[in-house]
Amino acid sequence: MRTVAPVIRRRNDEANGALIGYLPVGFPTLDESVEAAVALVENGVDVLELGLPYSDPVMDGPVIQAATQQALANGFRLSHGFEAVRRVTERVDAPVLLMTYWNPVVQYGVDRFADDLAAAGGAGLITPDLIPDEGADWIAASERTGLDRVFLAAPTSTDERLVRTIEASRGFVYAVSTMGITGARSDVDAAARTLVTRLGEAGAEASCVGVGISTAAQVAEVLEYAQGAIVGSALVKALAEGGVAAAGALAADLARGTRSH
């Protein structure tokens, strides 16, 4: 099992920070999603975030929604998520987190899900619609299996909520750069910088910023104050329009942002 924190620390020692890349499992096909994930790592992505397609993706913008709906139409099953993690981790030395809404985990069985993810070589979960107050079952399962658990913090979070999120998270805290759904934006909100500052003051060891990052310049900007930058919609769009090669090329370009000063 490859956990996330050592990679983020290493990338902050040797570069400006870590680059985290998101792709949905099963898009355009299961095989292509695996190849695209491998291509991201081969082109400079440090941590992979693989999304499990879900019928009610409340956080996802139109690009990711369209991709996940196509994956579901193609017959995506939850078992494909574990298969993808196993196939990717057999080929590249990078931590793989699954991003999943909570209902599929409950339906599958929390302990069973944790066991199967650990067996596949996964690093842990990003759970956008699960708050720490309601996460006792997952916290217990992840403690037992050693999996990372990444909870989200928003610009509107109270100081008390930030402390609770930091205490419950392992790996990093996902700092949502702006209120709203995912999608590339021309400017990453100034709220992200304030949120990361608040997280640091509350004791967070690593905060990674997601939502709206799509260029190497934005990666570099975010890494001036955060420990990691998360890119999703831009990579999914590249994969949709240009295939695995285009996703890899964009990853290589984004990775320049980890080296910029």
Q: How far apart are CA 17 and CA 91, in angstroms?
A: 23
CB 18 within 8 A of CB 6: no
CA distance to 31, 176, 199, 251, per residue, from 183 (Å)? 25, 12, 23, 16
Q: Please choose, from the candidates 203, 192, 186, the residue with its C-alpha nearest in 3D space to the C-alpha of residue 229.
A: 192
Sign of the torsion angle spanned by Cα atoms 156, 158, 164, 166: positive
Q: Let me know: does 50 contact 99? Beta carbons within 8 Å.
A: yes
Place of tokens 């985990």: 105
* Cβ neighbours around 104 below 10 Å, total: 16
List residues with catalytic annotation. 49, 60
Q: CB 59: neighbour CB atoms within 10 A?
A: 18
- Could you identify the residue written with the tokens 């599929």? 104
CB atoms within 10 A of CB 203: 10
